[in-house]
């Protein structure tokens, strides 16, 4: 999975909210309607299927995120490498600090039915996803989101909610691999400056436009 897919993955899972005893779908819809922005911390693990009984789990990646819907976000990896994915509502910038390299993509409809659309897109999520309850585990209500588009790389997204906030997200692809994200320290609707999402090009960086 590419780093971009991983973040998009990242992206995907935060949309939650609601009441402590509400269903996953109720919490999810409440979060979408009441949360215009949020920030917090994440840990991401990639799980690969294997021929044995024990799946292979990658070294955890961790960092912070902040978003303002629609389409503005900063997703920052701190470990094991430093990378920033930042969108200003028009373009997506992917900055690799080690290489001092920036890739610029047109945001446009890129979010679409990707996991990132759940967190950073509009409120009209059911246009691109089929949502359904997926039971509960360890006190976490689970919601399944299946992309309606056929050209997405993800087969389904599982979102875990507890007490009205997202605690995990699992993205499963067609190759038997999953990207699992856990969230903590989430703050809803923090005071944000629109200029916070304006990307400042690092000095001397190589720039690639896609």
CB 177 within 8 A of CB 170: no
Residue with tokens 């997405």: 152
Mean pLDDT of 165-177: 87
CB 112 within 8 A of CB 128: yes
CB 94 within 8 A of CB 4: yes
Choice between 97 and 112, residue whose per-residue pLDDT is larger: 97
Mean pLDDT of 27-32: 86
Kindly report the CA angle at 55 between 50 and 60, in degrees rounded to 5? 125
The architecture CATH gives domain 3-209: Clam (2.50)
Residue with tokens 């320290």: 185
Q: What is the pLDDT of residues 59-86, one digit of tens each?
A: 899 999 999 988 889 999 999 989 999 9
Residue with tokens 């400056």: 193
Mean pLDDT of 42-56: 75
Domain ranges of the chain: 3-209
Question: What is the per-residue pLDDT for 14?
Answer: 42
pLDDT tops 90 at residue 154: no
Residue of 6, 17, 70, 16 whose CA lies nearest to 43:
6
pLDDT-derived band at 97, boundaries 50, 70, 90: very high
Answer yes or no: pTM beyond 0.85: no
Percentage of residues in the chain with pLDDT exceeding 70? 80
């Amino acid at each position: 999975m590419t780093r971009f897919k991983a973040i998009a993955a990242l992206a995907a899972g935060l949309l939650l909210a609601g009441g402590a005893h509400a269903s996953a779908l109720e919490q999810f819809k409440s979060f979408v309607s009441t949360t215009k922005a949020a920030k917090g911390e994440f840990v991401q693990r990639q799980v690969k299927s294997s021929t044995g009984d024990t799946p292979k789990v990658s070294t955890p990646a961790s960092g912070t995120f902040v978003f303002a819907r629609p389409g503005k976000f900063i997703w920052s990896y701190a470990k094991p490498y430093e990378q920033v994915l930042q969108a200003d509502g028009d373009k997506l910038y992917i900055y690799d600090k080690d290489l001092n390299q920036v890739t610029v993509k047109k945001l446009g409809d890129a979010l679409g039915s990707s996991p990132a659309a759940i967190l950073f897109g509009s409120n009209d999520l059911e246009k691109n996803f089929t949502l359904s309850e997926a039971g509960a585990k360890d006190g976490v209500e689970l919601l399944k989101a299946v992309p309606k588009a056929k050209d997405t790389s993800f087969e389904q997204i599982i979102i875990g909610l507890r007490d009205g906030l997202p605690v995990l997200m699992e993205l499963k692809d067609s190759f038997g691999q999953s990207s699992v994200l856990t969230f903590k320290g989430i703050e809803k609707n923090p005071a944000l400056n629109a200029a916070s999402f304006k990307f400042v090009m690092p000095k001397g960086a190589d720039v690639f436009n896609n």
